[in-house]
Structure 1
Amino acid sequence: MIKSAIVLCGGKSRRMGQDKGLLKINGRPMILHVINSLKNFVDEIIVVLRDEKQKNKYKKVLNNLKSLKIVTDEVKDQGPLMGIFTGLKYVKSDYSLVVPCDSPFINEKFIKNMLNFLSKDLGAEAVVPKHANGKIEPLHALYHKSVRKKIHKKITKNERSVTSFVKEINAIFVSAEELDPSLKSFKNLNTPSQIS
């Protein structure tokens, strides 16, 4: 069974002043932390970037990595829903684990627990972590490639919210705390003070 992962990299962060995936933590770009977490658990990794300019920047960092495909959004500046739509076009698996490039603390327990759902007969279009307070994590989720058609409909209506989309499809919500008791896998770095 092929296991796929899609890593979403948005554009430049206003608060960070530059592209978050390329910001260094412990001397290495954030995206490499994410990819290193995934590489022992999946057969293919699709990195979705905003445009060719961003792709050229990331190629310098990602060029020597195997089992990695770098693609750009089919339509620029449409947000993470477009990133998921684009990534699902290139995957070989029925389900793909989608994660953001600004979550460098994604851990083995989270990945194993999420991928365990692949061995079950789900029939679901998505598996989405949900916190005890009700907050969902649609950018740390598994998606079936069949949702591409539904995403396309949303995008053509200029609807871009991943959270709204997930609530409209056949999604299974699983406890974020069960998937990763530390919750570190869901930590996004959004300000310079979080990195230093």
Structure 2
Amino acid sequence: MEVSQWTGIILAGGQSSRMGTNKALLELNGSSVMTHIVKAIRPAVSRIIVAAGPNEAIYSLMGDERFECIQDDYAGKGPLAGLHAALKVSSTDWNLVSACDMPLLQTSFFDGLKKLAEQYPTSSAIVPCVEDRIHPLAGVYHRRILPGLEQCLIHDRLRVTRWLEQIGCRYVETAELEQAGVLRPELQLSNMNTPEEFEHVRLRLHGSDSSPLA
């Protein structure tokens, strides 16, 4: 599928309570975490939407980057609300999704997910399951999930993994991701919820212009 058939969605409306500060704005190698993710996803899509929730004003003022930010229709209902809001304004059927705390994601990850979507065109969602861990906030979602997703939000059925089971999500493991061209998916899918996890990511990137995935 061509780039024009894809929208990139970054989920960045959380409170970052365990980090103690907004994760998306933390600096890595001179750029914000948000900027790292935008640079990785941008070559794979024609448009980027940031589901910003209450953080909209903050992101819209960030440096030279111009983010198309939207607020949730169902405030306070977690990542499913952000996904719903972004899919609602997306103009493409297929959408690449990333949380705002995965700065090690590379363009190869998103290109690989697009290849998998071509293999499984009837899937509503394609989500990595790496080292026995499901990563629902780094995957592929089709807009056909919108009606059911809205019903989950209305009725406060907010457990993401249970919702994935309901929509018949296709899980892809390490071997399949690597076959699609994703380099070291277990590393790319590292996220950072605490200062300790952020330091771990920072040390991987600090002082090197080369990719930690090379």
Query: 5+ unaligned residues in a row in structure 2: which ranges?
Result: 200-214
1:103 aligned to 2:106?
no
Determine the structure 1 residue equivalent to 2:191: 188
Q: CA deviation at 1:81?
A: 0.6
Q: Pick from 10, 15, 27: which aligns with 1:12?
A: 15
Is residue 78 of structure 1 aligned with residue 77 of structure 2?
yes
Distance apart, 1:118 and its partner CA: 3.7
Scaled by the length of structure 1, the TM-score of the pair is 0.90
Q: Is the 8 A contact 2:14 2:79 kept in 1?
A: no
How many Å apart are 1:181 and its aligned residue?
4.7
The CA deviation string for residues 107-140 of structure 1, in whole angstroms up to 9 with x for no partner, is 122111101134346211111111242x211111
1:128-139 alignment runs, 5 A limit: 128-133=127-132, 135-139=133-137
CA contact (8 A) 2:80 2:149 kept: yes
Counterpart of 1:56 in structure 2 is 57
State the aligned residue count. Answer: 191
Contact 2:8 2:42 (8 Å CA) reproduced: no
SS of 2:68's equivalent?
A: strand
Change (3 A) 1:195 1:171: closer
Give the 3 Å change call, closer, same or farther, for CA 192–132 of structure 1 in structure 2: closer
Find the partner of 2:157 among 120, 136, 159. Answer: 159
Aligned structure 1 segments of 4 or more residues deviating by more than 6 angstroms:
none
Normalization by structure 2: what TM-score? 0.82
Aligned residue number for residue 35 of structure 1 = 38
Q: Aligned in 2, Cα 1:178/1:120: closer, same or farther, shift over 3 Å?
A: closer
- Give the Å deviation of 1:27: 2.0
- Counterparts of 2:16 and 2:33 in 1: how far apart (Å)? 13
Q: CA deviation at 1:190?
A: 1.4
Contact map agreement 1:25 1:195 (CA 8 A) in 2: no
* 2:208 match: none
Q: Measure how far apart 1:23 and its partner are.
A: 1.1
Distance of aligned partners of 1:60 and 1:142 in 2 relative to their CA distance in 1, 3 Å threshold:
same
Distance 1:193 1:168, change over 3 A: same
Matched residue, 2:166: 168
Contact 1:5 1:46 in 2 (8 A): yes
- The answer as to whether partners of 1:107 and 1:184 remain within 8 angstroms in 2 is no
CA gap of 1:70–1:26, structure 2 versus 1, over 3 A, is same
Identity %: 27
CA 63–83 in structure 1, closer or farther in 2 if over 3 Å, else same? farther
What root-mean-square deviation, in Å, do the aligned CA atoms of Structure 1 and Structure 2 show? 1.8
Return the letter of the residue paired with 1:70.
Answer: C
Q: 1:45 aligns with which of 48, 58, 62?
A: 48
Q: Structure 2 vs 1, CA of residues 155 and 41 (structure 1 numbering), >3 Å: closer, same or farther? A: same
Q: Distance in 2 between matches of 1:21 and 1:166?
A: 25
